Amino acid sequence: MDRIIDQEEDYKEIRNKPGIIIYTKIGSRLNKDTITIKADVDLGSRYMINDIINLLLKVEDRPTWDPTAKEYFMDKRYDDCLLLKRYEIIIPMPFMQNREFVEKQITFRSNGRFYVYSSSVDDSLEPLKPKLMRAKTFLCASRFTQEGDTIKVTMVSQMDMKLFLPSFLLGGKMADELEQFKDCLIKKLEKTLSY
């Protein structure tokens, strides 16, 4: 998984702000037409890595702090680390249906790092909800590390959102969403830890 996350070939930096750097590339060996987005996020030294992981793994709570998530829940848990999750994301564009994802996800720790990997299941395994469009996750990989007191997260995601936008517009839209996600995550951590 580190090889996927650390790959730098063909990525173009599209955003560089304090605490977050975002890159994109078009196509890959898995799919030549989709966009891959990569983000390096610095969450600073205020939080414990377990606080962040616990918050992210409580998928049912996600809509309470992530404004893009309308529904987010686990359908099935196969063991301690493999689960099937289903979620709906809000598409904030006129006349566009929300997107539904159904993914298998595995989480594990290795060498002091925490990893999350997910990809879509075959549509035939899970029926589509009415009035939604099924989007595809080819791969979504995240690595959480603690470097000294600082927590770093690297995320790589290749999805087909079925938005039918030019790549440069889609890259900018996805970068906006990632930046918003980081800000919402920090706000939720602050609120959670202030109790």
Say which CATH number the domain at 186 has. Answer: 3.30.530.20
For residues 6 and 82, which has the higher predicted lDDT (pLDDT)? 6
- State the average pLDDT over residues 57-79: 79
- The residues, ordered by sequence, that sit 6+ positions from 44 with a Cβ below 8 Å of its Cβ are 19, 150, 151
Residue 75: what are its φ and ψ, rounded to 5°? -85, -45
Alpha-carbon dihedral sign for residues 129, 131, 133, 137:
negative
For residues 89 and 75, which has the higher predicted lDDT (pLDDT)? 89
pLDDT score of 17 more than 90: yes
Q: Which of 17, 55, 28 is nearest to 157 (CA)?
A: 28
pTM: predicted TM-score of the whole model, two decimal places: 0.84
Yes or no: say if 140 and 157 are a contact pair by the CB < 8 Å rule.
Answer: yes
- State the average pLDDT over residues 109-120: 90
Looking at the structure of the chain, the number of domains it has is 1
Work out the mean pLDDT of the chain and round it to a whole number: 84
Yes or no: say if 107 and 132 are a contact pair by the CB < 8 Å rule.
Answer: no
b/e burial code for range 66-80 (CB count within 10 A of at least 16 → b): bebbbbbeeeeeeee
Alpha-carbon dihedral sign for residues 54, 189, 1, 133:
positive
For residues 35 and 73, which has the higher predicted lDDT (pLDDT)? 35
pLDDT score of 78 more than 70: no
Yes or no: say if 101 and 67 are a contact pair by the CB < 8 Å rule.
Answer: no
Query: Which of 45-49, 121-125, 144-148 is predicted least confidently?
Result: 121-125
- For position 80, what pLDDT does the model report? 65
pLDDT score of 30 more than 70: no
- For position 38, what pLDDT does the model report? 94
- State the average pLDDT over residues 92-120: 87
Helix axes 167-193 and 49-57, enclosed angle (nearest 10): 110
Q: What is the residue range of 138's domain?
A: 2-193
- The CA-based diameter of the chain, rounded to the nearest angstrom, is 48
Yes or no: say if 140 and 118 are a contact pair by the CB < 8 Å rule.
Answer: yes
pLDDT band at 14 (very low <50, low <70, confident <90, very high): very high
Taking only Cα atoms into account, the Rg of the chain, rounded to an integer number of angstroms, comes to 16
